[in-house]
Amino acid sequence: MKAQQLLHACVAGSVLATIALAIPSFSQDAPKRRPRIAVLDFDYGTVQTASSAMFGTNVDVGQGIVDLLVTDLVKDGSYSVIERKALDKILAEQNFSNSNRADPTSAAKIGKLLGVDAIIEGSITEFGNETQKKNFGGGGGNWHGFGVGGIGHSNSKANVAITARIINIDTGEIMAVADGKGQSSRSSTSMLGGGGNWNGWGGGHADFGSSDFQQTIIGEATKAAVDQLSTGLISNASKVEVRTIVVEGLVAAVDGGQVILNVGAKDGIKVGDQLSIERVTREIKDPTTGNVLRRLTTSVGVVKATDVDNVSAICTPVSGTDFKVGDMAKTITQ
C-alpha cells in the first residue's frame, strides 16, 4: 500500500514539475523597447547650386531624402522613429534653424526635448551627374544648366552620396556613422529624365517617395543611396542605448477624473507612461542643519499619462482615488 502511495506521489510531483516548466515566468524583466530616434532633415548646402539648377528652383533635397530614409527605418523596425509633426513642433518652439543641422550640440538639445535616445543628422555630399561633381569644386568650372532637368549636352549617369551620424543626446558624442552612395543604371541628358513626367516639387519641397521620381535617373540614384545608408544605420542600432529616466514631479491639479502633473515631455514623460502617486506623511530633518534627510510616504495610487506637452501631463487613474494637489508623482521610464 505504501509503495502504491509513493508511486502516486512521484507521478503527481512529476506532473506538477512539468506544469511549472510550461508556465512562463512573469518575474523576468520585460524586453527592452526599441531605441527611439529622431531624424533631422539633412544639410544640402554643398549641393544646393546643382540641385537648384536641376529643379529650376531651390528644393529642400535634405527633407526629401530624410522622408525616404524614415520610410526605410520604419519598415525595418530596429528603431522607433519620432513622427515629423512632433519634431517640427520642437524645432519651431526652439527656433532651430537649418544652419544648426550639422551641430551635434544643438542636435543633442533637441533630442532631450523630444525624449529620444539618439538623433540622426546628416549631409548630402553629391546630388547630380559626374560632370557637376568634377566642375563645381573648381571655382568656376565650365558646367552650365539648361533649365529644369538640364545637365548639358552629353549623356551622363546620376550620382548621389549622403552621410549620416548617430548622436548621443546626453554627451553630443557621435556614436556611429554611415554612408550611402547610389548611381543610376541608365544615362540621360536630363537628371529628371528616364521615365514618367515627374514634377512633384513645389514650395521648396519635393516628393521623393513617388514612383514617378524614382523612375528618373536622379530618383534611381537617390533611392539606391538611401537604401545603402539605411542599411548602415540599422546595423548600428545596437550602439544606441535605451535611456532610463527617473522622473519626479507633483500633482498640480485634480479635475474630475483627471490628474494633472507639473512634469511633461521635456522631463521624459510620454503618453502611456504610468506614474506612482505617493503622499508625504512625514519629513525627517537633520537636527543640526534643518535639511530634509528623508521623506516618508504612503501610496495613493497609479496614474497613466494620456496627454503630454512640454511642461505638464494629463493622466487618468489606474488605481486609487484620493489624489490631491501636492502629492508626489514618480516613474522610472525608458
More confident residue, 319 or 156: 319
Over residues 272-282, the pLDDT tens digits come to 889 999 999 99
Q: In the beta sheet, which residues pair with residue 163?
A: 123, 179
Which pTM does this prediction carry?
0.64
The pLDDT assigned to 62 comes to 92
Q: Picking from 25-39, 237-251, 300-314, which range would have the lowest pLDDT averaged per residue?
A: 25-39
Whole-number pLDDT of residue 195: 56
DSSP string across 86-117: HHHHHHHHTT--GGGTT-HHHHHHHHHHHT-S
Q: Give span(s): CATH 2.40.10.410, the chain.
A: 245-333
For 227, the grid coordinates are 537604401
Residue range 89-141, pLDDT digits in tens:
877 877 776 556 557 777 777 887 787 889 999 999 999 875 444 333 333 33
- The CATH homologous superfamily of the domain defined by 245-333: FlgT, C-terminal domain (2.40.10.410)
The residue count for the chain: 334
- For domain 36-239, the CATH architecture is 3-Layer(aba) Sandwich (3.40)
When mean pLDDT is compared across 77-91, 229-243, 274-288, the lowest value belongs to 77-91
For the chain, where do the domains classified as CATH 3.40.50.10610 start and end?
A: 36-239
Q: What is the pLDDT at residue 98?
A: 56
